[in-house]
Structure 1
Amino acid sequence: MRKLPIIHARRPLDPSGRFAVEEIDLEFSNGERRTFERLKSGGLGAVIIVPMADDDTVLLVREYAAGLHRYELGLPKGRIDEGETPALAADRELKEEIGFGARELTTLLPLALAPSYMAHRTHVVLAQDLYPEKLEGDEPEELEVVPWPLSRLNALVNEPDFSEGRSLAALFIAREYLAGRWQPGAQ
């Protein structure tokens, strides 16, 4: 395994403080020096939840996506608050976004969104044995819950309003886990 580059300096780039962008001066093991920019991770990360209503039905949500200025189909997700594990955050987010809690929560793995320039991680959590329970959330409007057969995941990829990469990755990971073809930490 390669030796990590030495960080010689860090400088904040966003004077407004709105985004945690920093410039880092690096020296690689071969002596080459470069300056990289990256988004620093704020907080404890996030969760994306694969809520299974039954053995084949995943509950998706349709919500407004400001980046694309349209409604996008995807999985429930949200940040991990202070004092929460990924499983606790997933259970809270489920109750806030789709009105269900889960008796069984399995944290599958963390995903890096864009590791070349972003330090953020999103934990994929499988939620099973759902029960109705609603908590007040921070969404500006109620999210539409859309049941989808996991066995038709390939068809979901072709839906015009389904394009979020984390949701796609989480669904494929959960499908492999549920089919017994993959285990967390397995080589």
Structure 2
Amino acid sequence: MSEGHILKCEPIYQGRVIQVALETVELPNGAQVELEIVHHPGGAAAVALDEQDRVCLLRQFRHASQGWLWELPAGRIDPGETPFDTASRELSEEAGLQAADWTNLGMMHSSPGIFTEVIHLWLARGLTSLPHEHEHGEVIEIHWLPLGQALDWCHDGTITDSKTLIGLYRASALIKSAVEMLAEDPGC
């Protein structure tokens, strides 16, 4: 089977961030379907860990979610910006931090049935504080939690934001793997 392709694309809405289109698509099995697709430029998020393995989490008010969410510092990729540039900029703007060490944690699709957004995840270490100011439309509290507690919050449902769940799980797995490698090779 080949990949599906767009037969017809009818723009429905063009906003500041997203575009919504009604797309007629031929799927790899030959079936034709009409889909409402939300086009988004993508985003990036940073799992910022300090020397005590505390993670920087934002408690942020989100109108669309009808309340407060626990999230990683993250944001939309601006035109001409790389995902890494976005992660670095958002860490600075939202958490007042810059990182000396960055590790790519891969990407994720936030809601692939209707949304083109891809979020790139990074582990940020070697942190230093910067002066910062939140944007007018942001209501954010900055918190530092032990990574273990943040992972417990992932398990018990306190953290529900998908990029935050995936970022924390991937960062934890990477750290665990590094610790196991050191334990196996004590000569390092």
Indicate conservation of the 8 Å contact 2:55/2:150, yes or no.
no
Aligned length: 176
Indicate conservation of the 8 Å contact 2:97/2:129, yes or no.
yes
Letter in 1 for 2:104: T
Structure 1 residues 29 and 160: alpha-carbon distance in aligned structure 2, compared to 1, 3 A threshold:
closer
In the TM superposition, 1:28-177 aligns within 5 A as: 28-41=27-40, 43=41, 45-140=42-137, 143-157=140-154, 161-177=158-174
CA distance in 2, matches of 1:161, 1:116: 25
Residues 90-139 of structure 1 deviation map (CA, whole Å, 9 limit, x = unaligned): 12111111111111122221111111211111110111000011244425
CA distance in 1, matches of 2:58, 2:28: 46
Cα distance, 1:29 vs structure 2: 4.4
Residue 177 of structure 2 is aligned to residue 180 of structure 1: yes
Cα distance, 1:28 vs structure 2: 3.3
State the percentage of identical aligned residues: 26
TM-score under structure 2 length normalisation: 0.83
RMSD, aligned CA: 2.1
CA distance in 2, matches of 1:83, 1:30: 36
Higher helix proportion, which one? Answer: 2
Letter in 1 for 2:135: D
Letter in 2 for 1:51: A
CA distance in 2, matches of 1:175, 1:101: 20
Moved more, 149-158 or 95-104: 149-158
Structure 1: tracts of 5 or more residues without a match: 182-187
